Amino acid sequence: MLFHEGDVLPEHAQILEAETPGLRMRSIASMWETGAASFHRLCGGKEGTANRAVCSQRHSMGFKLMCRFYAIQVMPLLRSENFTFVMRLDDEGFLHNPVRANSNSN
């Protein structure tokens, strides 16, 4: 499963899925929108108001939302699709050898 922030055109997602057996694309744009809104409500647009770590300007909103997604939201999504584990790979990462999927799982 490949999560994206809603920045992949549907026709591009269809091509990727067609060209990559077993790939499922999933937009998490709505999670990003509701997450950003909740951060803004909590912090009132000001640093350090409600929770110093959450409201800090040290990290971008995108970074905070990514951390929130992988710390809290990703496992329920994957469980709903019958996945039992997750591996996160950034766009600067490389797989140097083929990865063989377990035929008993997704």
The answer to the question of residue 96 being in a domain is: no
The answer to the question of residue 7 being in a domain is: yes
The answer to the question of residue 74 being in a domain is: yes
**Cβ–Cβ < 8 Å for 32, 7:** no
The answer to the question of residue 90 being in a domain is: no
The C-alpha R_g of the chain, in whole angstroms, comes to 17
The stretches in the chain having pLDDT less than 50 are 47-49, 106
Residue 7 lies in domain: 2-80
Give me the pLDDT at residue 11, please: 94
The answer to the question of residue 29 being in a domain is: yes
Buried b (16+ CB within 10 A) or exposed e, 32-52: beebeeebeeebeeeeeeeee
The answer to the question of residue 88 being in a domain is: no
Token pair of 27, please? Answer: 């937009």
| Residue 106 DSSP label | -
What are 10-34's pLDDT values in tens digits? 999 999 999 988 888 888 888 877 8
Domain count, the chain: 1
The answer to the question of residue 36 being in a domain is: yes
